[in-house]
Structure 1
Amino acid sequence: MAIKVHGNPRSPAVQRVFLCLAEKDLEYEFVYVDLATKQQKEEPFIAINPFGQVPAFEDGDLKLFESRAITKYIANAYADKGTPLLVQDPMKMAMIEVWLEVEAQRFDAAGKTLSFEICIKPIKGLTTDEALVDQLIAQLATVLDVYEKRLAQSKYLAGDKFSLADMNHVPIINNMMKTKVRALFEQRPHVWAWCADILGRPAWQKVLAGLNF
């Protein structure tokens, strides 16, 4: 099997890659990485990702790290497979690129840390920083206000078709649905409908069914 994903299934970044592969209906080998020791059964993890973070990705001789670079590669390299996640039209692609940047630079800036504070810290026996959580909730609310206006105009962030810009949000949003942050999404009807849509996709349900926790 040519494609390998190295990581830990609890990581939203790893889940993002799983989801992209599921949307493309691609088979792959998963290599578990212990996040505490960065050890795995095969080659040293640091040889694939020099920053020692998950995920790392292999497709034949190609080795990649950073989940968004990986998902963009998959969407381009396997454009003829599964769900179209990117487009050839330059104007439509420009809109996808805009919302890819918004997800990475604005949504994830709050969402990833919220996910860690609320979802991951309790699992590790650590104390959640409630003051930081409140600050991040306010930050995320501002982002979701922008999303609400955008989604009042189109079904998905970049237009009327599901794209990589929507897909990259899914793991963090899924984590937020299990916490008090869910209310931020529920309070915005267009955002809430969008969440229900992207979380309900068969590819994400397939990923969830395969997670071992």
Structure 2
Amino acid sequence: MSYTSLPMDCLRMVFNLFPSWKRAAEVKKLGYKLHGNPFSTNTRRVLAVLLEKGLSYEAITVDLKSGEHKKDHFLSLNPFGQVPVLEDGNLKLSESRAISQYIAYVHSSRGTQLLNLQSHETMAILTMWMEIEAHQFDPPASKLTWEQVIKPIFGLETDHMVVKENEACLEKVLDVYEKRLGESRFLACNTFTLVDLHHLPNIQFLLGTPTNRLFETRPKVRNWVHEITSREAWKMACDPEKSWFGNQGK
């Protein structure tokens, strides 16, 4: 049986017994290659994790406007033709949430502690809220971002009926969040985790749209949004000159 099939508790015990293995995992290949676009919500999600962890990376721009992500050289990295893609040596990962979990786990003792692995229960709660973000919050939030932010950039007309329908869906989600944030400082627990970080890209874009009123009219959601968008790592992720173009490969 390979060590990757061992239960998590056993893996922790093994790493604690052999600290040199743990150190090797923590410092392994800090020079990640991140293929994406600094204005892409999914790319920014991964950028935020790298910056929260204080990791070095090479930013490789994929020109989405010209369709570079659908060309053969990029499809060899991700056959679905979507950004971002993270290269860690021979390992190639797509899907921003999977990438963020990988980075957060490999570098669990470095920088911001983004995973709550204190017990099976806390891990399950964190996983549950990550699923809620992906399946309840993201669908309406992404559609609202597309209609109100992305389409105008490309000279396309916003469909206000789609906006109305998705705001109604998002309101229901935010009502649940308002109640949850009355019980916990952040969504999964009382500390900032990947759960909160995963929300950031769409929230940031929606702050500049009429949909922002859905955050503002819910006091606990409003405070949570202010706190997570004020993080230094996130502000840097939103500044392409600092977080992206300054890390372009030579």
Q: Normalization by structure 1: what TM-score? A: 0.95
Deviation at 1:131, TM superposition (A): 0.4
| Partner of residue 185 from structure 2, selected from 142, 155, 158 | 155
Q: Does the alignment pair 1:186 with 2:236?
A: no
Does structure 2 conserve the Cα–Cα contact (< 8 Å) formed by 1:5 and 1:28?
Answer: yes
Distance 1:25 1:2 in 2: 11
**Residues 33-89 of structure 1, C-alpha deviations (whole Å, 9 max, x = no match):** 11134438xx81111111001111111111000100000101111112110111222
What is the total number of aligned residue pairs between the two structures? 211
| Partner of residue 103 from structure 2, selected from 50, 63, 74 | 74
Structure 2, unaligned runs of 5 or more: 1-29, 246-250
Higher fraction of helix: 2
The corresponding residue for 1:39 is 68
Does structure 1 conserve the Cα–Cα contact (< 8 Å) formed by 2:33 and 2:58?
Answer: yes
Q: Does the alignment pair 1:137 with 2:199?
A: no
Q: Does the alignment pair 1:101 with 2:131?
A: yes
Structure 1, unaligned runs of 5 or more: none
Larger Rg: 2
| Partner of residue 80 from structure 2, selected from 36, 39, 51 | 51
What one-letter code is carried by the residue in structure 2 that aligns with 1:205?
K
The corresponding residue for 1:25 is 54
Q: Normalization by structure 2: what TM-score? A: 0.81
Does structure 2 conserve the Cα–Cα contact (< 8 Å) formed by 1:106 and 1:143?
Answer: yes
What one-letter code is carried by the residue in structure 1 that aligns with 2:32?
I
| Partner of residue 92 from structure 2, selected from 58, 63, 69 | 63
Distance 1:90 1:25 in 2: 27
The corresponding residue for 1:4 is 33
Distance 2:68 2:161 in 1: 34
Does structure 1 conserve the Cα–Cα contact (< 8 Å) formed by 2:148 and 2:158?
Answer: yes
Deviation at 1:11, TM superposition (A): 0.8
Does structure 1 conserve the Cα–Cα contact (< 8 Å) formed by 2:38 and 2:240?
Answer: no
Distance 1:109 1:39 in 2: 25
Give the secondary structure class of the aligned counterpart of 1:204: helix
The corresponding residue for 2:205 is 175
Residue identity (%): 45
Q: Comparing 203-212 with 83-92, which one deviates more in the overlay?
A: 203-212
**RMSD, aligned α-carbons:** 1.6
Does structure 2 conserve the Cα–Cα contact (< 8 Å) formed by 1:115 and 1:176?
Answer: yes
Q: Comparing 98-107 with 29-38, which one deviates more in the overlay?
A: 29-38
